[in-house]
Chains A and B, each alone.
Chain A
Amino acid sequence: GAVVSQHPSWVICKSGTSVKIECRSLDFQATTMFWYRQFPKQSLMLMATSNEGSKATYEQGVEKDKFLINHASLTLSTLTVTSAHPEDSSFYICSAISSGGTDTQYFGPGTRLTVL
């Protein structure tokens, strides 16, 4: 149980284009999902908290107009990187907490974004 999937697993795009990443909780409902970013040889950094049916909460320094988050249902959150630039190249990982009350965060397998 407690499986989180991400799609795509990797994407290469040209500078200036937008990329959408999906995060799904497969066998549980998640009222809260999180988006993290991990640069090479660094740890995970929280970008934003996504709550179903409401606006996402962004961490300081993360541009909300650049990283659009939508949490349309209890099993799906999407992150859209708009007008991507090479410095946005990173490993994007989502996580989810079950709405059943546990504090355990389950992570997706990650999406490798490369912007040329």
Chain B
Amino acid sequence: SQKIEQNSEALNIQEGKTATLTCNYTNYSPAYLQWYRQDPGRGPVFLLLIRENEKEKRKERLKVTFDTTLKQSLFHITASQPADSATYLCAGDTGRRALTFGSGTRLQVQP
């Protein structure tokens, strides 16, 4: 079955460093991946969408890559701040416009 895996349950980094989160997909080839931020008790907030024919996409301090050979997407937050602390979700399209989600990575940025 289509699977999105975020192997790191949690990531702790120091303020100012770059956070790198990993998302792997198995048993299928998503046409696009979407990254979201989710705070406790809240719905996901859209950050970036990257398509399979795009190698990289940037938005302010965020960068996402899509490697179809490795079947992997990397999500980077540069110059991280304590306010970036949240759970980050990777989601792939199912071919029916719905999304299948990874389990998320909880990022903690220490001041």
Contacts and interface: CB of A to CB of B under 8 A. Distances in A.
Interface residues of B, number: 23
Given A44-B89, A49-B96, A107 B103 contact: no
B66 interface: no
Contacts, number: 57
Nearest to B99: A105
Q: What are the 5 tightest A-B residue pairs by CB atom distance, in nearest-first order?
A: A107-B43, A43-B101, A110-B43, A44-B101, A107-B44
15 contacts: A4-B43, A42-B103, A44-B99, A46-B94, A46-B98, A46-B99, A57-B96, A93-B44, A95-B43, A95-B99, A104-B49, A105-B91, A106-B46, A107-B43, A109-B43
Interface of B: 32, 34, 36, 41-46, 49, 89, 91, 93-94, 96-104
